[in-house]
C-alpha cells in the first residue's frame, strides 16, 4: 500500500491508470495522473469495444471469476460517484 505521506505519479490516464489514481486519492494519497493525450482514455481504453467482462463464461471457483464478481459489486456505486453512464445489457455476473 502506498504511504499517504508520499505523493504518487501515475503514468497513463486509461481505465487502469484512472482507477489507480481514483483509489489512491480516496485513501488520502496525493496523486498526480500524467496523460500524453488531450483527454483521458484516448488510447487503448478509449478505442476498445466498451464492453465490461461480466463473467458469463468464467469457471466458478477460479480467481478470475471471484475478481469479476467483486468488481461487479463495485461497478454501479463507482459509476454513480464518477457520474459515468453505464447500460446493463446482458446477464448478471456468474449466471449461466
State residue 2's pLDDT score. 57
Residues 76 and 41 in one domain: no
Within a domain: residue 92?
no
Cβ–Cβ < 8 Å for 18, 41: yes
State residue 34's pLDDT score. 94
Q: What cell numbers appear for 66 in the block?
A: 471471484
Cβ–Cβ < 8 Å for 92, 69: no
Does 90 or 27 have the greater pLDDT score? Answer: 27
Within a domain: residue 94?
no
Q: What cell numbers appear for 36 in the block?
A: 500524453
Per-chain mean pLDDT for the chain: 81
Domain that holds residue 2: 1-49
Query: In total, how many domains does the chain have?
Result: 2
Share of the chain above pLDDT 90, in %: 25
Q: pLDDT tens for residues 80-96?
A: 887 777 776 665 555 54
Q: pLDDT tens for residues 54-86?
A: 667 888 899 988 888 888 888 778 778 877 777
Which long-range CB contacts under 8 A does 87-95 form with residues at least 24 apart?
90/54, 90/56, 91/54, 91/56, 92/54, 93/54, 93/55, 93/56, 93/68, 93/69, 94/55, 94/58, 94/60, 94/65, 94/68, 94/69, 95/56
Amino acid at each position: 500500500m502506498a504511504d499517504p505521506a508520499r505523493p504518487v505519479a501515475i503514468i497513463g490516464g486509461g481505465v487502469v491508470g484512472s482507477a489507480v489514481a481514483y483509489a489512491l486519492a480516496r485513501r488520502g494519497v496525493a496523486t498526480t495522473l500524467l496523460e500524453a493525450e488531450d483527454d483521458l482514455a484516448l488510447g487503448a481504453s478509449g478505442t476498445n469495444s466498451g464492453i465490461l467482462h461480466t463473467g458469463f463464461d468464467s469457471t466458478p471457483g477460479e480467481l478470475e471469476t471471484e475478481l469479476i464478481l467483486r468488481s461487479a459489486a463495485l461497478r454501479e456505486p463507482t459509476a454513480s460517484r464518477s457520474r459515468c453512464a453505464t447500460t446493463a445489457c446482458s446477464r448478471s455476473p456468474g449466471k449461466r
